[in-house]
Amino acid sequence: MAITHPSFGKLEDDRIIIFDTTLRDGEQSPGFSMNLEEKLRMAEALWELGIDVMEAGFPIASPGDFESVLSIAQHFAKDGPVVCGLSRTAPADILRAAEAVKPAARKRIHTFVSTSPLHMRVKLRLEPEQVLDLVTSSVSLARQHTDDVEWSAEDGTRTDPDFLCRCVEAAIKAGATTINIPDTVGYALPEDMHRIFTMVRERVPGADRVILSTHNHNDLGLAVANTIAAIRAGARQVESTINGIGERAGNASLEEIVMALRTRHDAIATKNNIVTTNILRTSRLLATITGFDVQPNKAIVGRNAFAHESGIHQDGVLKDKSTYEIMTPESVGWSNTSLVMGKHSGRAAFRDKLKAMGYDIGDNQLNDAFRRFKDLADRKKVVYDEDIAALVDDEVVRGNDRIRLTALTVATGMATKPTASITLEVDGESRDGVAAGDGAVDATFNALRNAFPHDVNLKLYAVQSVTGGTDAQARVTVRLEEGGKLVDGQGADTDTIVASARAYVHALNKLLVKRERTEPPVVLRA
């Protein structure tokens, strides 16, 4: 039966709503936090990707979370995805979420409460009847602020089936328009999902008038399989994150769900609004912002996802790609020309290349990125799409940085103590620093502390290569800690030391933004 939904109007039976929670469930996992600017960039990329609902955050969690959801709602005040704010059942939670999503053209409040015996007893210390009352009161209050209300049964897959049906019925009666049954702890098997969604559809009065939603965690590596099983049993909304980021082992990965649905349309005939050719760039933007690359063998977006190494496979692919490729790399945004540009390429060609890769950046960023591209092309024999993506993402991420790396010289060798001299531009003012260290990277970081005195802990330093070869770009991640706050910075360059300095400076900039959010603006020490 076709559903009429407050945010989407009349929905065709086979339409799947793509609900993205990268900025909420994804962002709240350790090390994945983003600042406001980064969230806005991700939000824009997610909108361009074609998601339907964007869970922008948990507004009551902190002033920063509130501000992010509010800013995203303001960003999408005229047009955009449904902007969703999460809340528990307390009126203060719901009102905070309502206030944060208010400016959005289309908005949703997502309220949840635990329904499993274990969570109710240990976490909430409430009797089931009290939880049932909370379902009604929270959804009713949310409905006073938005027509579009989602209700979730936290730990739904470990909830007593009869009680789950009673809760879902109460939520629908109170006005919920989407009912989400999360596998919060990643415990369910695909057959459990099928059984639960079939049961809710068959037993709960009014279930045919709302959208049933599935939200799966990946503790057993089954999040995507469980999502597909729920769709087969009638779920019409899938909750997922880019690159599968999220609590513990993560959430179901958006790109895997979408490509499974597309590739196996023969088995599950559904449609959605995702522009699949934007998948790779969205995945890469998230990796650049958070500093966590996906593993090489990650489905769809991993470096090896479309690489054929064995002779037998290569032979087959050369004869006919479909022998070993079930979807085309181009369909998710991989370019089929690996060697792209050289040092003679001009600005117009560079702009065209970026366009073909799905980047739409402003003139100033383009100028800076082009300058770095020329510099890279001078130093590197071949410039691949991956190199350009790393460089542009790097530039985009650095848009409003207060501290910039302008020069770095390092002297090192077997018989010399490594020394580094660095020049930074801090709020437009040039600052120099010189220091020695226990290695080139250590000397560089010491010089940086010299040029811009600060007291933070270095928690992680990791180097990855963007492409193969000795002239490959290195992508470095640096994690800094200050007063319990963690930030990750990234930097890419053919020179690992320069990439390291960029990454450190990036992390430092993020720390400054974090400080400003909780304290009055920092006066930089001379």
- Annotated binding-site positions for Mn(2+): 25, 215, 217, 251
Residue 251 CA to residue 224 CA, distance in Å, equals 9
Q: If contact means CB under 5 to 8 A according to the sort of partner, which of ligand KIV, Zn ion, none does residue 240 touch? A: none
Q: If contact means CB under 5 to 8 A according to the sort of partner, which of ligand KIV, Zn ion, none does residue 169 touch? A: none
Q: Which stretch in 4-12, 39-47, 179-187, 394-402 sits in contact with ligand KIV by CB under 6 A?
A: 179-187
Angle at the Cα of 490 from the Cα atoms of 296 and 411, rounded to 5 degrees? 110
Tally the C-alpha atoms within 13 A of residue 232's C-alpha that lie toward its C-beta: 19
Mapped onto helix, strand or coil, the DSSP state of residue 112 is strand
112 lies in the site for ligand KIV, by CB under 6 A: yes
Contacts for 465-474 with beta carbons within 8 Å, 24 or more apart? 466/384, 466/386, 466/387, 466/390, 466/492, 467/384, 467/386, 467/387, 469/381, 469/382, 471/379, 471/380, 471/381, 472/380, 473/376, 473/380, 473/387, 473/390, 473/391, 473/499, 474/499
Considering the complex, state which of residue 180 and residue 490 has its C-beta at the smaller distance from ligand KIV: 180
52 lies in the site for ligand KIV, by CB under 6 A: no
Considering the complex, state which of residue 7 and residue 21 has its C-beta at the smaller distance from ligand KIV: 21
Considering the complex, state which of residue 168 and residue 392 has its C-beta at the smaller distance from ligand KIV: 168
151 lies in the site for ligand KIV, by CB under 6 A: no
Q: If contact means CB under 5 to 8 A according to the sort of partner, which of ligand KIV, Zn ion, none does residue 283 touch? A: none
Closest CA to 148 of 178, 180, 105, 114: 178
25 lies in the site for Zn ion, by CB under 5 A: yes
Residue 111, φ and ψ in degrees, nearest 5: -110, 145
Q: How far is the CB of 487 from ligand KIV (least distance, A)?
A: 24
Q: If contact means CB under 5 to 8 A according to the sort of partner, which of Zn ion, ligand KIV, none does residue 510 touch? A: none
Radius of gyration of the chain from its Cα atoms, rounded to whole angstroms: 25
Beta-strand pair 237-240/211-216: parallel
DSSP 8-class letter at 344: T
215 lies in the site for ligand KIV, by CB under 6 A: yes
CB–CB of 501/451 below 8 Å? no
Q: How far is the CB of 109 from ligand KIV (least distance, A)?
A: 13
Considering the complex, state which of residue 235 and residue 447 has its C-beta at the smaller distance from ligand KIV: 235
Considering the complex, state which of residue 5 and residue 215 has its C-beta at the smaller distance from Zn ion: 215
Q: What residues from 216 to 255 belong to the interface with ligand KIV (CB under 6 A)? A: 217
Q: How far is the CB of 158 from ligand KIV (least distance, A)?
A: 11
Considering the complex, state which of residue 180 and residue 494 has its C-beta at the smaller distance from ligand KIV: 180
27 lies in the site for Zn ion, by CB under 5 A: no
Considering the complex, state which of residue 42 and residue 440 has its C-beta at the smaller distance from ligand KIV: 42
Residue 258 CA to residue 378 CA, distance in Å, equals 39
Among 7, 157, 184, 218, binds ligand KIV (CB under 6 A): 184
Residue 302, φ and ψ in degrees, nearest 5: -75, 150
Among 22, 33, 152, 226, binds ligand KIV (CB under 6 A): 152
Residue 241 CA to residue 287 CA, distance in Å, equals 12
Considering the complex, state which of residue 20 and residue 25 has its C-beta at the smaller distance from Zn ion: 25
Residue 78 CA to residue 329 CA, distance in Å, equals 34
Residue 179 CA to residue 149 CA, distance in Å, equals 9
183 lies in the site for Zn ion, by CB under 5 A: no
Residue 442 CA to residue 448 CA, distance in Å, equals 10
Q: If contact means CB under 5 to 8 A according to the sort of partner, which of Zn ion, ligand KIV, none does residue 154 touch? A: ligand KIV
- Contact track, Zn ion, 432-471, x by CB under 5 A: ----------------------------------------
Q: If contact means CB under 5 to 8 A according to the sort of partner, which of Zn ion, ligand KIV, none does residue 80 touch? A: none
Query: Sign of dihedral through CA atoms 338, 339, 340, 343?
Result: positive
Among 20, 27, 65, 154, binds ligand KIV (CB under 6 A): 154
Q: If contact means CB under 5 to 8 A according to the sort of partner, which of ligand KIV, Zn ion, none does residue 15 touch? A: none
Considering the complex, state which of residue 39 and residue 281 has its C-beta at the smaller distance from ligand KIV: 39
- The CA–CA distances, whole Å, from 230 to 5, 98, 269, 309, 333 equal 20, 29, 14, 35, 28
Q: What residues from 5 to 34 belong to the interface with ligand KIV (CB under 6 A)? A: 25
CA 164 to centroid of chain Cα atoms: 30
Q: Which regions of 412-495 does DSSP assign to beta strands (E)? A: 419-426, 429-436, 457-465, 474-482, 485-493
Contacts with ligand KIV, residue ranges (CB under 6 A): 25, 112, 152, 154, 180, 182, 184, 215, 217
Contacts with Zn ion, residue ranges (CB under 5 A): 25
